[in-house]
Amino acid sequence: MGSPVITANKEGNIPLHLAVMNRISDSALALLDADPRCAHEPNMSMQSPLYIAVMNGLDHVINKIANQGLSVASISISIHGTALHQAVLADNTKGSSALHYAAKMNNSRIISLLLNKDYNLAYKQNNKQRIPLHVATEYVSLEAASELLKQRPDVIEMVDINGQNVYHIAVVNNRLNMLKWFHRWLPKDLVNHRDMDGKTPLHLATKLSLIEHALLLLKDSRVNPCVVNNEGDTAFSMSDRIGILNMMPGEAYLWKKLKKYQSTRCKRKRAEKVNNTTVGQALHRCRPIVNNDLPLFLKNPSGSADSNKSTCLRGPIATYLRRYVLVPTLIAMATFMATLRHTRQFGFAIVKDHLAFKIIIICNTISMCSSIVVILSSILQLFDPVKLMLHEMIWASRLIVLAGFMMVMSMVTTIYLTIPASRWLA
């Protein structure tokens, strides 16, 4: 008859499993004293009590198991080493070790404890060939990553099954904080490391449209924007394939920065000639403006499109252009009509000395001027849409908000000036 300490229920859980699941440390320690082998018994989910203790942060239980490792080596059911090796090195269904879980849970104390017993755990890979540092990067476990690099700094050079290092993993999982933090650790060759597809972290950030990540990389002088992937593309040429006018404003801004940094950092003229696309070349994918697409005041009298000017009246940027023409136009019309209607109804000579009327004039002037500036700048973008970058759109949005606010102020003041003269209040 087997020991009751290692008797399992239907789920394969022995008493020690249940103790660590419920965070009952005293019972868990007593069970370990009774039979140290119970620390290595897997349940139906292929999780040993040590795995669960790591996930629940039971430091005393983990320390007890680690200290018992050498003493129970002779009675361990594993033939691959000590009991500690079996407990923390043996794979579960995902191939993750206890150190992987500690990295996921950002528990630096457990990481320090396990590495002090066996530093080889830092190099243990799961089914995706990811080491604990990769897991810490994916789950933004800064303390865990710091402890891993403090004890085994060379693990930063290891890659996963896709040939990606920690920088790639931070970008793919959209971990901007980890990307910033790794700047203090990564040498130049890792910043520009190419994965199985030949992509650097900059390639991935560009492909995934992670603007902040890509700009952070570009600001680092160690990053080489001229590295090509397996298809022969730099990060800029990858971005250029989309077509500048089919991009969102942030993507267009990144396109501009990629072009700038590639032209300044690429030393080989051949790379510049092949990949440094001009604005004119970027626009060649777009259909020319036909005469019917243009507003009346922009139409060519000859009835044909100007062959020297072409752009795209489609895609995200074209949508923004239309909005920045339509919205301020409506605001300007509403502002103008409100002022004109009020002066015709009550007469300029009657209200010109009224304070409310002066407020109306000031609000209308600000609203009209702001709207006109946005309208004219948006119309100019029709001839060179690539200049419609993120910071310019921010200012246009601010002017539209200002114009709208002044329009509302003008209307409220007009109501205030009109209501006292209305007969229905009598």
Contact 8, 48 (CB under 8 A): no
168/160 Cα distance (integer angstroms): 10
149 and 221 share one domain: yes
418 and 335 share one domain: yes
End-to-end C-alpha distance for the chain, whole angstroms: 102
389 and 274 share one domain: no
| Last residue in a domain, options 282, 306, 323 | 282
395 and 265 share one domain: no
246 and 325 share one domain: no
Whether residue 294 lies inside any domain: the answer is no
250 and 340 share one domain: no
65 and 191 share one domain: yes
pLDDT of res. 390: 54
Tens of each residue's pLDDT in the chain, 426 residues: 456 777 777 778 888 888 888 888 888 888 887 877 777 678 887 777 877 887 777 878 877 777 765 433 333 333 333 444 444 444 455 678 888 988 998 989 889 888 988 889 899 999 889 999 999 999 999 999 999 999 999 999 999 999 999 999 999 999 999 999 987 767 777 899 999 999 999 999 999 999 999 999 999 888 999 999 999 999 998 888 776 556 777 787 888 888 888 888 876 444 434 344 444 444 444 444 344 444 443 344 444 444 444 444 445 556 666 677 777 777 777 776 665 555 555 554 455 667 777 787 788 888 888 888 887 777 766 555 555 555 566 777 788 888 888 888 877 877 777 665 555 544
Name the residue among 142, 140, 143, 121 with its Cα closest to residue 132: 121
Whether residue 289 lies inside any domain: the answer is no
Contact 64, 73 (CB under 8 A): no
| Last residue in a domain, options 265, 282, 299 | 282
161 and 214 share one domain: yes
For residue 131, count other CB atoms closer than 10 A to its CB.
26
271 and 378 share one domain: no
266/234 Cα distance (integer angstroms): 11
Whether residue 11 lies inside any domain: the answer is yes
Residue 310 φ/ψ, nearest 5 degrees: -140, 150
Whether residue 236 lies inside any domain: the answer is yes
20 and 83 share one domain: yes
Q: Name the β-bridge partners of 310.
A: 288
Q: What is the 3-state secondary structure (H, E, C) of 351-399?
A: HCCCHHHHHHHHHHHHHHHHHHHHHHHHHHHCCCHHHCCHHHHHHHHHH
Per-position DSSP letters for 210-259, written without gaps between them: -HHHHHHHHHSTT--TT---TTS--HHHHHHHH-GGGS-HHHHHHHHHHH
Whether residue 287 lies inside any domain: the answer is no
Q: What are 307-311's contacts with CB under 8 Å, separation 24+?
A: 309/383, 310/283, 310/284, 310/286, 311/245, 311/283, 311/286, 311/382, 311/383, 311/384, 311/385
Domain hosting 93: range is: 4-282
Q: What is the DSSP letter of 62?
A: H
CA atoms lying within 13 Å on the CB side of residue 83: 26
Whether residue 308 lies inside any domain: the answer is no
| Tally of structural domains, the chain | 2
Say which CATH number the domain at 236 has: 1.25.40.20
Whether residue 305 lies inside any domain: the answer is no
Q: What 3-state DSSP class applies to 288?
A: strand
100 and 211 share one domain: yes
Contact 254, 211 (CB under 8 A): yes
Whether residue 30 lies inside any domain: the answer is yes
pLDDT of res. 403: 83
203 and 323 share one domain: no
For 198: left if phi > 0, alpha if psi spans -120 to 50, otherwise beta; the answer is: left
| Last residue in a domain, options 264, 282, 300 | 282
